């Protein structure tokens, strides 16, 4: 069957060599490697890229070699345009659901009611972030509130930065961020550092503020419950993550617990606990960024391709 580069329009059942669920950076990276191996590839994408909030806030991506300071939506659009030049790729917009391992070992799922069967599956389904319940925080997510110092710390220009405690990993951020700016850790009744952690933070010059936060105002100003207002260049926090798709659980993939939330358990080549199912990107990492997602996607695709060659030889 010849697959056109245009998006899928009919609703007939589809049988494919490789399917990639998730069309963001990790998924497109995986699809690129597979199609360059001259394999037929279907990409299923629900259009919910994790860092879309950065585009909505008018921000840019950072630290991604060759793409520094570009809007992430433009990076993704260019990547898709490059991918779709290959005649072996098919793009299907929609949400994958009802996934199951079939008796013959193939992987079945449905997209908007359409049946899909793949011999090998790469999951790049991503995660969703849940922010601490601080008034004004979510409105600034991706603009002046972040989670990754390596992605956004440089843009603080050495100014005052705040860490809003939501989990024990607040200590890690409070310990790291003095390299990017004068740092204050707001415990916010959500995190209580040990004496040892307090000593480590003090050694780094991080101040600890125990009075809870009432709200965030302005660009990134922290208003405390005692009425004090502390101006910040930017804020960092520890969102809780959850898998954005139930497909991995439906297939029976083992999960691992990370500091931010559960993720799909994979080995060194992105193989899950289920045969012929690979996973990459934020859904298969304790924490990550665009660079790591792209690398994971390439590794997952190469491992899936090698597995198909071994099967053919058997």
Distance CA 252, CA 300 (A): 18
**What is the radius of gyration, based on Cα positions, of the chain?**
22
Q: Cβ atoms within 10 A of the Cβ of 104, count?
A: 8
183 bridge partner residues: 161
Tell me the torsion sign for CA atoms 17, 23, 25, 28.
positive
Pick the CATH number of 14-128+240-313 from 3.90.700.10, 3.50.50.60, 3.40.50.300, 1.10.1530.10: 3.50.50.60
Phi-psi bin for 22: left (phi > 0), alpha (psi -120 to 50), beta?
Answer: left
Name the residue with tokens 């890229």. 49
Q: What angle do helix axes 290-313 and 25-36 make, rounded to 10 degrees?
A: 40
Do 14-128+240-313 and 132-237 share a fold? Answer: yes
* Per-residue pLDDT tens listing for the chain (314 residues): 333 344 555 666 789 999 999 999 999 999 999 999 999 999 999 999 998 888 888 889 999 999 999 999 999 999 999 999 999 999 999 999 999 999 999 999 999 999 999 999 999 999 999 999 999 999 999 999 999 999 999 999 999 999 999 999 999 999 999 999 999 999 999 989 999 999 999 999 999 999 999 999 999 999 999 999 999 999 999 999 999 999 999 999 999 999 999 999 999 999 999 999 999 999 999 998 999 999 999 999 999 999 998 776 54
Domain ranges of the chain: 14-128+240-313, 132-237
Topology adopted by domain 132-237? FAD/NAD(P)-binding domain (3.50.50)
SS3 204: helix
């Amino acid at each position: 069957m010849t697959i056109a580069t245009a998006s899928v329009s009919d609703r007939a059942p589809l049988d494919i060599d490789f399917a990639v669920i998730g069309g963001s950076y990790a998924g497109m990276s995986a699809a690129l490697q597979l199609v360059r191996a001259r394999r037929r590839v279907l990409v299923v994408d629900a259009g919910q890229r994790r860092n879309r909030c950065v585009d909505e806030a008018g921000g840019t991506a950072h630290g991604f070699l060759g793409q520094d300071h570009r809007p992430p939506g433009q990076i993704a659009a260019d990547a898709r345009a490059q991918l779709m030049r290959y005649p072996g790729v098919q793009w299907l917009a929609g949400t994958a659901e009802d996934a199951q391992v079939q008796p013959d070992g193939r992987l079945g799922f449905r997209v908007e009611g359409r049946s899909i069967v793949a011999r090998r599956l790469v999951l790049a389904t991503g995660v969703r972030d849940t922010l601490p319940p601080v008034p004004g925080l979510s409105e600034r997510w991706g603009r002046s509130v972040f989670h990754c110092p390596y992605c956004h710390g440089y843009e603080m220009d050495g100014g005052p930065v705040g860490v809003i405690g939501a989990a024990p990993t607040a200590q890690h951020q409070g310990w790291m961020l003095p390299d990017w700016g004068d740092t204050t850790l707001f415990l916010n009744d959500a995190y209580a550092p040990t004496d040892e952690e307090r000593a480590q933070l003090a050694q780094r010059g991080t101040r600890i503020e125990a009075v809870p936060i009432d709200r965030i105002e302005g660009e990134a100003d922290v208003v405390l419950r005692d009425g004090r207002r502390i101006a910040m260049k930017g804020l960092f926090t520890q969102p809780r993550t959850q898998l954005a798709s139930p497909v991995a659980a439906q297939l029976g993939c083992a999960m691992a617990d990370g500091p931010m939330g559960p993720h799909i358990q994979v080995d060194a080549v992105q193989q899950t606990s289920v045969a012929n199912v690979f996973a990459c990107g934020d859904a298969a990492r304790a924490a990550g960024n665009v660079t790591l997602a792209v690398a994971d996607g390439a590794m997952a695709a190469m491992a899936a391709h090698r597995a198909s060659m071994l099967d053919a030889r058997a």
